Amino acid sequence: MSYLRSIKKKILNLSSQAGIYQFLNYKGDILYIGKAKNIKKRVSSYTSLSRLSYRIQRMVSQINNIETITTNTEAEAFLLESNLIKKFKPRYNIVLRDDKSLPYILITNKNKWPQISKHRGKQKKNGIYFGPYPSVGIVEKTINSLQKVFLIRSCSDSYFNNRKKPCLLYQIKKCSAPCVNKIDKKNYNLLSNQTIAFLKGKNKEIQSELKKKMKNLSKQQDYEKAATIRDRIKSLNQIQEKQSINVKSIGDADIISIIKKQNKACVQIFYFRGGQNLGGRYYFPRHEENEKIENILQSFIGQYYSDKIVTKLILINKKIPEKKLLINALRKKSGYKIDIQLPLKGQKKSVIQYAEKNAKKELDKRYDEQKNNLYFLQKIKEVFKLKKIPQIIEIYDISHISGEFAVGVMVSFNKDGFIKNNYRKFNIKGKFKRKDLISKSDDYSMIYEIINRRLKKSFKQISLPDLMIIDGGKGHLSTTYQALKNFKLEKIIELISIAKGEKRNEGNETFYMKGDIKKKFNTNDKTLFFLQRLRDEAHRFAITSHKTRRSKITKSILDEISGIGPNKKRDLLKHFGSSNQVRLAQLSEIEKIKGINKNVAKKIYNFFHEN
């Protein structure tokens, strides 16, 4: 076999050191990334075809080139392998999908009035971080509950420094208003320290302190303040009730359980901090059908922690083949001792079984959803007389207000459901005009732009869909068809547009296809409900993206200056770049801006400089 001779020839020049090896096909795409204590010896094992599975034999037959990177130790090779697999997602590797950075709660300590906020990304800010939490939504709910109990501020420093009177949060008893000296530094720091203690798991101590304070206030007949403390204790109990399982003896640990059924695996993670269960997330790693469950778990752990803080204790439900190597690699990454345990009894075993039960439930749910999705993909083919059952569907929508802050979005769907990693948003630039002159709210030009941008070369790393669904009517359909023709894809990608009814009521939609074909469903048709679900997800993503883009301009401390409307604010931000630069500007500089007269300029200047 010629490809084996070629591989054996390349092996002669390989290093015998530890490191990683990459198999590439003739296009230069990475087929597989592996680690080795001895690269030359490990790669040589791929030439003994009789010892390889059919899947690996198929991969070997596609190898055109081999690239290697040497490392000092096998542990370093393990870390590098995990990072590269996560980055390139090779076809023949076990791959962690849908993995995003996790949110934390941050309590700053850089100034005398500590602030509580949600944080995502690198932990560069001075302060104490708590987490991770499974979602931003849970972080926001937790912060909301904590503010009811501890009255700690959540506003930005610029907002805080420019307050003249308490904001709404003070009125609804969710902040102690340190910005206008409604509380002194000593008592505010006490609240801040109690918040930190609670997040570290010292619930009973705090509750005891609050109850003692409430009794003393009652004895002093200060019933109003005693009632406030009572409400805080009630809120504290509500937070604790929401935490499903708390195991004090575990302390800080990540609980990782894997379940495999047929050809799919689900991994469930729970985050325990200070013995409190902060919640969890589940993952469906990509792997070959016959991959061993222990290999999936080991690869998952390596990739998962490649860009996250490693907890000192990791509890797992299955043995992994290279536990010692994994521990050494994670220890090298973190700089402290890591322990990976497979509990056999006690509370730790119970928690692992709890995670295992959740993984099984999610896996069963995934199979049910997949069966349901396959049924409707088949129905779409039949109803619209498509050439084949669509494997990938992309749904497009746009959102704007009279052409302002226009955003287009792409949502992706397959038999497993919505493919969140393939979602894309496009800030409309107006560079793909169909005509020389268009109005600001020309939806056709906007859809034409986003389809052109989606199909250009830099987007080809996302597989092309079999079917595109456009939220719009006949005009949107023909505009999209023209964009497909630009790329010679009009015969490859099929096209449908979905137009709302005359009164924009659901159930009265009209579907348009090429050749002036249109289709309507009965209002109770389940296939219609499925298509509405696809359309509604694109609509949700479009609205969210539009609001995010708009908020970057509309949310500003300038909103608090009376007489400053959207236009003046936009002119100020356009000229100075940020509200902070407006604050630093001289009165004479503000007066120079077109549309800002001397009285308004003085009002802006005084807002930032009075007292």
Tell me the residue type at 494: E
The SS3 of residue 166 is coil
- 8 Å CB contact between 258 and 300: yes
Please give the helix or strand (H or E) that residue 68 lies within, else none: strand 65-70
> What gap in Å lies between CA 144 and CA 141, rounded to an integer?
5
- More reliable by pLDDT, 584 or 393: 393
Model confidence at 255, pLDDT cuts 50, 70, 90, reads very high
Query: Model pTM?
Result: 0.78
Which CATH architecture does the domain made up of 248-363 adopt?
2-Layer Sandwich (3.30)
pLDDT (average), residues 184-201: 90
- More reliable by pLDDT, 70 or 53: 70
What CATH number belongs to 393-552?
Answer: 3.30.420.340
What is the average pLDDT value for the chain, to the nearest integer? 88
Residue 242 has pLDDT above 70, yes or no: no
pLDDT (average), residues 527-531: 95
pLDDT (average), residues 419-433: 81
Residue 496 has pLDDT above 60, yes or no: yes
- The pLDDT of residue 608 is 79
How far is C-alpha 176 from the geometric centre of its chain's CA atoms? 32
- The pLDDT of residue 415 is 94
- How many H-runs (helices) and E-runs (strands) does the chain carry? 20, 19
List C-alpha distances in Å: 316 to 94, 279, 284, 340, 348: 18, 17, 16, 7, 10
Q: 393-552: same fold as 248-363?
A: yes
- The pLDDT of residue 161 is 84
Residue 305 has pLDDT above 80, yes or no: yes
- The pLDDT of residue 527 is 95
pLDDT (average), residues 398-419: 86
What's the token pair of residue 252?
């800080």
- pLDDT, tens only, 140-155: 988 998 998 899 999 9
- The pLDDT of residue 339 is 97
- The pLDDT of residue 240 is 65
> 484-489: which pairs have CB atoms within 8 A and are 24 or more residues apart?
484/451, 484/455, 486/452, 486/455, 487/455, 489/455, 489/464
Residue 6 has pLDDT above 90, yes or no: no
Is the peptide bond preceding residue 343 cis, with omega within 30 degrees of 0?
no
What is the percent of the chain where pLDDT is above 90?
55
How far is C-alpha 346 from the geometric centre of its chain's CA atoms? 34
- CATH class of residue range 556-609: mainly alpha
pLDDT (average), residues 260-279: 91
Residue 364 has pLDDT above 70, yes or no: yes
- The pLDDT of residue 549 is 73
- The pLDDT of residue 436 is 44
- The pLDDT of residue 421 is 84
- The pLDDT of residue 110 is 73
Model confidence at 403, pLDDT cuts 50, 70, 90, reads low
Lowest mean pLDDT among 167-176, 287-296, 591-600: 591-600
- pLDDT, tens only, 449-471: 999 999 986 566 788 999 999 99
Maximum Cα–Cα distance across the chain = 94
> What gap in Å lies between CA 11 and CA 66, rounded to an integer?
9
On the 0-12 / 13-18 / 19+ scale of CB atoms within 10 A, 149 is buried
pLDDT (average), residues 508-519: 89
> What gap in Å lies between CA 413 and CA 392, rounded to an integer?
6
What CATH number belongs to 2-88?
Answer: 3.40.1440.10
- The pLDDT of residue 437 is 38
- The pLDDT of residue 331 is 96
> What gap in Å lies between CA 475 and CA 481, rounded to an integer?
10
- The pLDDT of residue 84 is 96
- pLDDT, tens only, 94-113: 999 877 889 999 999 877 89
Per DSSP bridges, beta strands 393-401 and 30-36 are: unpaired
Residue 243 has pLDDT above 60, yes or no: no
> What gap in Å lies between CA 610 and CA 587, rounded to an integer?
13
Residue 439 has pLDDT above 50, yes or no: no
> What gap in Å lies between CA 435 and CA 445, rounded to an integer?
8
**What residue spans define the domains of the chain?**
2-88, 104-201, 248-363, 393-552, 556-609
Model confidence at 564, pLDDT cuts 50, 70, 90, reads confident
